[in-house]
Amino acid sequence: MNMDIIIGKEIGSGGTSNVYEYGDNAVIKVYKPHVSDGVINNEKYIGELLNKTTLDIPDLIGSIDVNGKKALIYERIEGKVIAESLLNGWYETEIGYKYAKLHFDIHQKSIIELPSQYDFLKNRILQLENIAEEERESLLGLLDSFPKDNKLCHGDYQPFNIINSYEKFVVIDWNGACSGNPIFDVAWSYMTLNSPVVSHVLGEKVAELFTNFNNDYINKYCALSEISKDLILMCMPIVAARRLYDNNQNDNEHTRIEREWLYNYIQNM
Ligand SMILES: Nc1ncnc2c1ncn2[C@@H]1O[C@H](COP(=O)(O)OP(=O)(O)O)[C@@H](O)[C@H]1O
Ligand SMILES: [Mg+2]
């Protein structure tokens, strides 16, 4: 890696990072202070694994030290995340359908070297604090009632992690990629866009577009996969537990707004 390259302007950010231009064709993902070395190393490991596949996603180019923390360098994708048009007040159903189809296509693949989704979700449930032991038992029972499966799952498929690059949708941010049952991957995506934080941060008008997008997504995904929406809704307590675990690691206004909403999924199991 050429060490003379300087970090350029910021082009995006997410829950874990700020992302900047890096040279002409790359970006650098600089992690926020709350993100542990373990999480960064895991993203690097997954990136190296996915580099070896034929998936049409940005290559992981390498890593460098930025202010004492590892930062990851990825191939740059031209375009804007698909959330951006929603934020600007524009949405049409075709976008939601295309997004659903892409998620469905990902779920037709298997990369069995990836971490096990089942083990990951089970650990999250076991590690979750502040729930009753009967609730924990019910969550584990619910998890076990679904087949484990070994399909490629993204882990955080949502409109801030898809770049619309000349009409082609390119999926980024694979740090939670795993091998497992697509139903939990879909339940996570659906839950994410239904969060009360969406209207809190973005206002009612944009939240309505996100709701339309989410409904088109789930209807199209169910049609393609022949999985019923009721079955996906049955997974909500599991993905709520996963999100509650994340929220407990990072106390801020948004995670506090979500907490009660997430507990409700578990209590109404
Ligand atoms: N390879 C890339 N090419 C272009 N933009 C990117 C790329 N990777 C990330 N971004 C931008 O940076 C944002 C945050 O990156 P992401 O990997 O999703 O980080 P986080 O884990 O913090 O969500 C994205 O929403 C996108 O706007
Ligand atoms: Mg992201």
Atom of ligand 1 nearest to the CA of 83: 25
Of all protein residues, the one whose alpha carbon is nearest to atom 14 of ligand 1 is 13
The CA 154 to ligand 1 mean position distance, Å, reads 14
Gap between the Cα atoms of 48 and 37, Å rounded? 16
**Among 117, 111, 85, 112, CA closest to 99:** 85
Among 10, 11, 19, say which to mutate for ligand 1: greatest number of ligand atoms within 8 Å of CB: 19
C-alpha distances (whole Å) from 151 to each of 60, 95, 135, 168, 222 are 22, 24, 28, 23, 17
- 96 CB-contact burial (10 Å; exposed 0-12 / middle 13-18 / buried 19+): buried
Gap between the Cα atoms of 42 and 122, Å rounded? 18
| Per-residue pLDDT tens digits of the chain, which is 269 residues long | 555 678 999 999 998 999 999 999 999 999 999 899 999 999 999 999 999 999 999 999 999 999 899 999 999 999 999 999 999 999 999 999 999 999 999 999 999 999 999 999 999 999 999 899 999 999 999 999 999 999 999 999 999 999 999 999 999 999 999 999 999 999 999 999 999 999 999 999 999 999 999 999 999 999 999 999 999 999 999 999 999 999 998 888 999 999 999 999 999 98
In DSSP terms, 163 is beta-bridged to: 81, 170
Of all protein residues, the one whose alpha carbon is nearest to atom 23 of ligand 1 is 14
Residues with CB under 6 A from ligand 1: 11-17, 19, 27, 29, 58, 74-77, 81, 160-161, 163, 172-173
166: left (phi over 0), alpha (psi -120 to 50) or beta: left
Residue 166 amino acid letter: Y
In DSSP terms, 39 is beta-bridged to: none
Instruction: Give the largest CA-CA distance in the chain.
Output: 57
- Match 């973005």 to its residue by tokens: 202
Q: Which residues contact 254 (CB under 8 A, 6 or more apart)?
A: 197, 200, 201
- Token representation of residue 13: 């950010």
The CA 152 to ligand 2 mean position distance, Å, reads 18
The CA 5 to ligand 2 mean position distance, Å, reads 24
Gap between the Cα atoms of 122 and 141, Å rounded? 10
The CA 21 to ligand 1 mean position distance, Å, reads 11
Q: Could you tell me how far CA 40 lies from the centroid of its own chain?
A: 15
